[in-house]
Homo-oligomer: A and B are copies of this chain.
Amino acid sequence: MSKKIGIVGAGTAGLHLALYLQQNDVDVTLFSDKRAEEYASMRLPNTVAHFSVTIDREKALGVNHWQTGDVGYFGHHYYIGLPEPMRFYGDLRSPSRAVDYRLYLPALLTDFVERGGNVEYRAIQQEDYAALAEEFDLVVVSTGKGTGDMFPKIPELSPHTTPQRQLCVGIFKGIAQLPSRSVTMYFSPGAGEMIEIPTLTFNGMQNALVMENLPGGDLEILVQTKYDDDPEAFKTLLLEKLAKHYPTCFERIDQAEFDLANSSLDILQGGVVPAVRQTSIELENGTIAIALGDVQNTVDPMLGQGANAASHAAFVLGEEIVANDVFDARFVEKVDSRRNQRVHSATRWTNVMMANLENFPPEFGAFVGAVAQSPTLADTFTNNFNYPENQWDVFSSPERVAAFCASA
């Protein structure tokens, strides 16, 4: 039975799904609002690490153009800036990897096109979906642009109405890499967190700094101050804040070289309202529109869960599209029964970790103490960034946190 699938949005979720369906000879059309050559001149869209579970999917798609030996990283350092600072390290069983999405997305889009993929280059608005419903047997919605509130929030999984952190995210040069490439997660009580990610960008390996600033805290000014208004003033402010809150990063900075890695486009400021949404709606003619990736699950970037959950969901959806001939409520139920443990856990775990870091309840203090003292626990916790459902197993209640600590 022939089936025609339309995918709106060419982010990681849309591209992984399109490449998967192409590999399985399904008739697929990808809608992208940008051509491959337009990415180089755009503002940094985000900073994303792909864990090994995602790299394995890229290998299966034949699009793993970046060898982890060259650009990957091998574990997480943790710096807990309490009055008595704590530092510990956890190993990843297989390396992770971060590539600037202005390189990554056009590379995969080009792969899809060169393999004969059908791309329509236009932005889809909400009023366009009726026509797509006529053209396709299933419409996959994997960009939030133009969708408005097509997919209503699930209230019990969407507790927040405002961003939990004010984000200042950039790719910087002038920060020395650690001897063994690794992510560092920094915590500054009352101010926020920072994640330093070795990232391949236009001018080679640099460091992304994901600054997660508490609303009302000492670091929030990093979101309100614009680089373009006065680059030197911004750098001076940022260096001052790094020295105060994240000293073990600051000490690796060459202040003469320190700057945005390529251009003033290498910085993004704003905030994310975490949300989990219903996964499908019926369009006017009864065709199903199914949400994928950030459209289903909008997650703060602190723990790097968005793209990895999106890629997982893309493969589940791809496998079910191949396996099914009818795209109806039963189809959606099957997709959801396979993806939602991971997708929902990504959001639940991230939300709880943000609350834990803000409020530092006693069981979380005990957790930090336990992983700081047990390399086994630190490795398990670090490797489980691949598996948010395993993290949710640990963090969904104080009793579970205690059981994890006791397992050392």
Q: Measuring CB to CB, which residues of chain A are less than 8 angstroms from any residue of chain B?
A: 1, 324-326, 328-330, 334, 337, 340-341, 392-393, 396-397, 399-400, 403, 406-407
Contacts and interface: CB of A to CB of B under 8 A. Distances in A.
A328 B399 contact: yes
A1 B407 contact: yes
Contact of A341 (B328, B337, B392): B337
A325 B407 CA distance: 9
B330 A400 contact: yes
Nearest to A338: B341
Contacts of A406: 1, 325
A1 to B, nearest CB: 6
A324 B403 CA distance: 9
Please provide the 9 A-B residue pairs with the shortest distance between their CB atoms, ordered closest to farther: A325-B403, A330-B396, A326-B400, A326-B399, A326-B403, A337-B341, A328-B397, A1-B406, A1-B403
A337 B340 CA distance: 9
Contacts of A341: 334, 337
A98 B399 CA distance: 44
Given A337-B337, A337-B341, A341-B337, A330 B393 contact: yes
Nearest to A340: B337
B393 A324 contact: yes
A330 B334 CA distance: 21
Contacts of A325: 400, 403, 406-407
A391 to B, nearest CB: 12
A403 to B, nearest CB: 4
A326 B341 CA distance: 18
